């Protein structure tokens, strides 16, 4: 039972929501060295889920007093999906319960029971004006009783949408995948049936779905690791037609796929327990795989300098793996191995549970759900420093983002810690938002965009 109680913390993962990198990816890479501030933030954690933006950003604000707050827009319902941005438009999703005050409980606690709410929910997609926060349009994707229950720390709108500047894709798990134009016209929808991502050891403890879609060129990639019949699939962005689907021998996971386009062939990179690995982007063919030791994989993989980084933090281990991009076949580590021909380094004791790690230059940043932040040499895995953010009594679920030599960590209670990138620990500022923060922020043109429990907030001018 102890492992079941501890596993309740997994539900703070539902922010991920998870990690589309398409036209935006090409544009961001093309302009990476021209000094311009990042404009597009097209999926969970931006292009390739990197979480890193160009340009200066605010380091001091207070949403409770209005200091350095440009605008604040209320969004009804509950949603842990992160905001995404294309040009002058912001997109978020939400699910509006029929209950007057639906339960949402954050913090470090141990309760795996789902919320009992069998009322009709309205699943919606919102588009906001980036300059003013004005709601430009909102569309109802689905209305009905949720097919899968949620945890008290989760919502029914956990998956972050994705865009390529022409399409907006929103995923609501068992309630379907929906593709809209930038002006809110529904182009197509896809029903995958019931997608139950509860704790695999206690199936009745339903926790909802959270893996976000990504867009790459003409494809939408979805990772559906669930209680039964897990799979990864590619769909046509134009009409929703299934291009390929590959079964996965995998327990429920909550991370988002990441796209790799480097020296080798393009790959879809997935976190997992039984199957961490890479798949050919065009065919779905398995290129490489390895087994892990963390049995509730939550963080999204990240890519940098021809290395793939994976981490989990529950069950038999708390691993971090750095896998070379030329990996082929089964690259699993032996019983006492920490590296091999394809795994450059690993650490079985320091991995994340909730947040997707952040790669900034030659440093890898992680944070435990109790606020213990660590910095590693990304090439060797050597720990550079660690420090505590907060009191140790608050949870940290939202993934970090970075810009201008600073990393931003959001606590569940609503404080944002700004940490300098360097070789020594330190905190530049702590900024109150005045509401629960479970979603990962976005960065665009020198501004920070937070999605709290009640509002979307623009920080900075």
pLDDT in tens, 166-208: 999 999 999 999 999 999 999 999 999 999 998 899 999 899 9
- pTM here is 0.93
The pLDDT value recorded for residue 319 is 94
Distances (CA, A) of 192 to 112, 189, 210, 230: 25, 10, 14, 11
Read off the pLDDT of residues 389-405 as tens digits, 9 standing for 90 and up: 999 899 999 999 999 99
Q: What is the pLDDT of residue 384?
A: 96
CB 331 within 8 A of CB 391: no
Mean pLDDT of the chain: 91
Q: Which residues of 315-330 are buried (b: 16+ CB within 10 A; e: fewer)?
A: bebbbbbbbbbebeee
Tell me how far apart the alpha carbons of residues 258 and 269 are, in angstroms, rounded to a whole number: 5
Torsion sign (Cα): 399, 404, 406, 412: negative
Residue predicted with more confidence, 16 or 220: 220
pLDDT band at 263 (very low <50, low <70, confident <90, very high): confident
Q: What's the rounded Cα separation, in Å, for the pair 26 and 14?
A: 28
Pick the more confident residue, 433 or 4: 433
Confidence label for 292 from pLDDT (cuts 50, 70 and 90): confident
**Residue 301 near residue 270, CB atoms below 8 Å:** yes
Q: Which of 42, 18, 16, 45 is nearest to 168 (CA)?
A: 42
Quick one: 188 exposed, middle or buried, by C-beta within 10 A (0-12, 13-18, 19+)?
middle
Residue 375, φ and ψ in degrees, nearest 5:
-130, 130
Tens digits of residue pLDDT in 191-202: 999 999 988 999
**Rounded Cα distance, 290 and 301, in Å:** 14
18-41 pLDDT, tens per residue? Answer: 333 333 343 344 334 446 899 999
pLDDT one-digit tens code per residue, 222-239: 999 999 999 999 999 999
State percent of the chain over pLDDT 70. Answer: 92
Alpha helix stretches (DSSP H) within 253-408: none
Q: Is 55 in contact with 446 (CB distance < 8 Å)?
A: yes
pLDDT at 264 over 90: no
Among the listed ranges 6-10, 189-193, 235-239, 335-339, which one has the minimum average pLDDT value? 6-10
Tens of pLDDT along 78-103?
Answer: 999 999 999 999 999 999 999 999 99
Tens-digit pLDDT profile for residues 62-79? 999 999 999 999 999 999
Residue showing tokens 């021909």: 341
Average pLDDT over residues 247-267: 93
Tokens for 263? Answer: 């020296």
> Quick one: DSSP state of residue 210?
-
Counting beta carbons within 10 angstroms of the beta carbon of residue 111, is it exposed (0 to 12), middle (13 to 18) or buried (19 or more)?
middle
Question: Domains in the chain and their CATH numbers?
Answer: 2-459 (2.130.10.10)
**Long-range pairs for 327-331: beta carbons < 8 A, 24 or more residues apart:** 327/278, 327/287, 327/288, 328/287, 328/288, 329/288, 329/289, 330/288, 330/289, 330/290, 331/288, 331/289, 331/290
Q: DSSP letter at 169?
A: E
């Amino acid at each position: 039972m102890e492992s079941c109680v501890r596993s309740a913390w997994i539900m703070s993962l539902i922010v991920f929501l998870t990690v589309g990198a398409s036209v935006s990816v090409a544009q961001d890479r093309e302009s990476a060295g021209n000094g311009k501030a990042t404009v597009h933030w097209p999926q969970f954690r931006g292009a390739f889920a990197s979480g890193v933006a160009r340009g200066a950003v605010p380091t001091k604000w207070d949403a409770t007093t209005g200091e350095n707050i440009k605008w604040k827009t209320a969004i009804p319902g509950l949603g842990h999906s992160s905001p995404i941005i294309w040009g002058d438009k912001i997109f978020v999703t939400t699910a509006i319960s029929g209950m007057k005050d639906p339960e949402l409980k954050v913090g470090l606690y141990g309760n795996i029971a789902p919320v009992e709410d069998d009322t009709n929910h309205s699943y919606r997609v919102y588009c906001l004006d980036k300059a003013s926060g004005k709601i430009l349009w909102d569309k109802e994707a689905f209305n009905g009783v949720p097919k899968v229950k949620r945890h008290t720390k989760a919502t029914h709108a956990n998956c972050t949408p994705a865009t390529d500047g022409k399409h907006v894709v929103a995923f609501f798990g068992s309630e379907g995948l929906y593709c809209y134009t930038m002006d809110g016209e529904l182009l197509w929808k896809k029903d995958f049936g019931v997608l139950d991502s509860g704790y695999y050891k206690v199936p009745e403890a339903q926790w909802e779905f959270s893996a976000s879609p990504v867009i790459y060129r003409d494809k939408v990639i979805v990772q559906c690791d669930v209680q039964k019949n897990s799979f990864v699939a590619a769909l046509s962005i134009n009409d929703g037609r299934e291009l390929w689907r590959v079964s996965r021998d995998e327990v429920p996971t909550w991370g988002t796929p990441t796209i790799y386009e480097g020296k080798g062939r393009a790959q879809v990179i997935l976190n997992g327990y039984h199957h961490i690995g890479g798949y050919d982007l065009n065919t779905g063919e398995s290129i490489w795989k390895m087994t892990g030791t963390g049995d509730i994989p939550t963080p999204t993989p990240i890519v940098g300098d021809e290395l793939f980084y994976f981490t989990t933090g529950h069950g038999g281990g708390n691993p971090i793996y750095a896998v070379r991009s030329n990996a082929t076949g089964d690259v699993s580590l032996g019983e006492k191995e920490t590296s091999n021909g394809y795994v450059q380094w690993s650490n079985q004791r320091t991995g994340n549970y909730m947040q997707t790690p952040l790669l900034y230059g030659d440093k890898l940043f992680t944070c435990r759900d109790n606020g213990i932040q660590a910095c590693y040499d990304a090439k060797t895995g050597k720990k550079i420093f660690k420090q505590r953010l907060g009191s140790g009594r608050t949870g940290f679920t939202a993934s970090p983002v970075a810009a201008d030599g600073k990393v931003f960590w959001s606590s569940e209670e609503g404080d944002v810690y700004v940490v300098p990138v360097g070789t020594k620990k330190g905190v530049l500022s702590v900024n109150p938002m005045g509401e629960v923060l479970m979603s990962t922020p976005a960065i665009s043109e020198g501004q920070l965009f937070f999605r709290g429990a009640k509002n979307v907030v623009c920080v900075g001018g």
